[in-house]
Amino acid sequence: MLGDFDFGVIVTALPYLWEGMQLSLLLTGLAAIGSIALGTILALMRLSSIRLFQWIGAVWVNFFRSLPLLLVIFWFYFLVPLIVQGQVDAFESALIGFVLFEAAYYCEIMRSGIQSISRGQAWSGYALGLNYPQTMRYVVLPQAFRNMLPILLTQTIILFQDTSLVFVVGLADFMTSAVTVAQRDSRLVELYVFAALVYFVMCYFASLYVKTLQKKMHR
């Protein structure tokens, strides 16, 4: 079977696959930015002294962590159009689905990050006359974010892998492009091996980078 492994197929398909990869990276980047921002807000809500906020944060996290990501993507692609009575763009709906879903995970990371900052830091911000948003923005969150950077990046690597699920709504990301070429040229082996290799190399080196970053920070 591997005897007639044809590299030529991959080479010819490279420009097309690269376009898919660009979409994967764009989706990962936007989803990461959106869900880290939303996750941070949710974390602040969970840690707030206001009961209602705590409750909203907790419900959000528990709800999305109990659903398969695939279902959330389906939901936003197939059910939201029924509700709003109109077409939704596949990219936008996938992006919204990812942000809402991943925010639940980033929330828990940011929550432990914020809790890792001593109470005295917030106190000294307040004592200087900074209000709550200022104390969070200038004192607590930058430190929490820095402490959690390796874990945030690790979660983003997982997010990158998960973007391959947009296959189900027909978005031409890297995975979908590979599948398309594989079926068009009847070259399943070549394309699936290549796709696996690309995902592996990218994610493996990214996590190696995270590891060195972690070591550097602990020094």
Partner 1 sequence: MIKFNNVNKWYGSFQVLKDCTSSVKKGEVVVICGPSGSGKSTLIKCVNGLEPFQEGEISVDGVSVGAKETNLPKLRSQIGMVFQNFELFPHKTAMENICLAQIKVLGRTEDEANTRAQELLDRVGLGEYGNKYPSQLSGGQQQRVAIARGLAMDPIAMLFDEPTSALDPEMINEVLDVMQQLAKSGMTMMVVTHEMGFARRVADRVIFMDEGEIVEDATTDDFFGKPHSDRAQEFLSKILEH
Question: Mind giving me the DSSP string for 24-59?
Answer: HHHHHHHHHHHHHHHHHHHHHHHHSS-HHHHHHHHH
Q: Which range in 7-15, 45-53, 98-106, 132-140 contacts partner 1 by CB under 8 A?
A: 132-140
Total residues in contact with partner 1, by rule CB under 8 A: 18
Site string for partner 1, 30-59 (x = CB under 8 A): ------------------------------
Question: Could you tell me which stretch among 29-37, 49-57, 77-85, 114-122 binds partner 1 (CB under 8 A)?
Answer: 114-122
Site for partner 1 in 135-164 (CB under 8 A): 138-139, 142-143, 146
Residue 129 binding partner 1, by CB under 8 A: yes
**146-151 contacts at long range (C-beta below 8 A, 24 or more positions apart):** 146/217, 147/113, 147/116, 147/117, 148/109, 148/110, 148/112, 148/113, 148/116, 149/213, 149/217, 150/210, 150/211, 150/213, 150/214, 150/217, 151/109
Our finding on whether 209 is near partner 1 (CB under 8 A) is: no
Structure tokens at 204: 């493996």
When computed from its CA atoms, the radius of gyration of the chain, rounded to whole angstroms, is 21
Pull the structure tokens for residue 96: 């919204």
115 binds partner 1 (CB under 8 A): no
Stretch that binds partner 1, among 2-10, 17-25, 123-131, 149-157 (CB under 8 A): 123-131
- Which residues contact partner 1 (rule: CB under 8 A)? 118, 120-121, 123-131, 134, 138-139, 142-143, 146
